[in-house]
């Protein structure tokens, strides 16, 4: 398989040397789950052309400090790519900004969260994972102010939290899966990012609260398996099962 990882935002220079850029983090997360896959990083935020949907077997749209509402040609081109992928059922995965972009491209709506900034370790319910009435949860790192507030027609919610009800979406029949969180983040990077942005844009007291959540590790492997399942064209049941760590979907 040939997977394009689209860089839509850059890491801060002070953090990049130790942690890499976002495509590198994503490839590090999922490469063991997708042996033999060729990953290509394409930095559309830095001027690389947005590829045609038929150029690769699948796409991952990464996070960004930009809004999906910003008037940049590369954002419009990414929305077209997302629609083209959906029409052809070419696998696509969205992370944070990518989650929002796919939603907007396919008919959803993105706005600022009513809760303001959300950062640190978040716990999400895995919808459809109930086994004998128990709802399974999965934890992942997050850092966002905007989020999807209205899903496109046909989208199925698979991850939800009180602060982010549409945290994970599967577009059945379109081979698209997206999450509002940052499964590619390691705790050390999340900590560095929160500390670096304490005071701007995060309120210092809120940043301290976010840092305090980082004592528990995120469920990286479960998120990696779900992303790999989506990129290889697996169905919603397989994605939910991966998120739920094998619990029946």
Q: Which whole number is the average pLDDT over 46-51?
A: 98
What's 2-243's CATH class? alpha beta
Q: What are the sequence ranges of the domains in the chain?
A: 2-243
Decide if pLDDT at 249 tops 60. no
What pLDDT, in 10s, does the model give residues 27-42?
999 999 999 999 999 9
Strand 155-161 to 118-126 pairing: antiparallel
> Pairing mode, if any, of strands 164-171 and 176-179?
antiparallel
What would the mean pLDDT of 145-154 be, rounded to a whole number? 96
Find tokens 């290889």 and name the residue: 232
Q: Where are any strands of DSSP class E within the chain?
A: 2-6, 38-42, 58-61, 92-95, 109-112, 118-126, 137-144, 146-150, 155-161, 164-171, 176-179
> pLDDT per residue over 61-119, tens digit each?
999 999 999 999 999 999 999 999 999 999 999 999 999 999 999 999 999 998 899 99
Average pLDDT, integer, range 3-22: 96
Flag the least confident range among 19-28, 120-129, 131-140: 131-140
Whether residue 139 has pLDDT greater than 70:
yes
- Whether 106 and 78 have beta carbons less than 8 Å apart is answered as no
d(CA 216, CA 231): 28
Nearest alpha carbon to residue 30 among 198, 231, 213, 164: 231
Q: How confident is the model at residue 245 (pLDDT cuts 50, 70, 90)?
A: confident
Section 220-231 average pLDDT: 98
- pLDDT over 70 percentage in the chain: 96
> Of 97, 23, 102, whose CA–CA distance to 63 is shortest?
97
Across the chain, what does the average pLDDT equal? Answer: 95
């Amino acid at each position: 398989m040939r997977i394009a990882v689209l860089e839509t935002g850059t890491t801060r220079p002070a953090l990049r040397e130790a942690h890499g850029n976002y495509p590198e983090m994503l490839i590090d997360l999922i490469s063991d789950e997708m042996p033999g896959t060729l990953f290509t990083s394409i930095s559309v935020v830095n001027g690389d052309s947005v590829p045609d949907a038929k150029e690769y077997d699948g796409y991952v749209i990464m996070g960004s400090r930009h809004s999906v509402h910003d008037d940049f040609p590369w954002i419009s081109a990414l929305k077209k790519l997302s629609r083209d992928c959906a029409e052809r059922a070419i696998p696509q995965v969205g992370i944070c900004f990518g989650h929002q972009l796919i939603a907007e491209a396919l008919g959803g709506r993105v706005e600022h969260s009513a809760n303001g900034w959300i950062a640190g370790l978040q716990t999400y319910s895995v919808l459809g994972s109930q086994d004998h009435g128990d709802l399974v949860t999965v934890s992942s790192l997050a850092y966002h102010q905007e989020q999807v507030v209205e899903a496109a027609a046909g989208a199925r919610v698979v991850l939800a939290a009180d602060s982010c009800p549409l945290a994970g979406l599967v577009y059945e029949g379109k081979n698209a899966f997206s999450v509002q969180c940052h499964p590619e983040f390691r705790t050390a990077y999340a900590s560095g990012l929160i500390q670096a942005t304490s005071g701007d844009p995060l309120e210092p007291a809120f940043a301290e609260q976010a840092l305090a959540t980082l004592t528990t590790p995120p469920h990286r492997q479960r998120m990696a398996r779900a992303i790999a399942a989506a990129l290889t064209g697996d169905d919603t049941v397989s994605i939910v099962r991966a998120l739920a760590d094998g619990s029946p979907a």
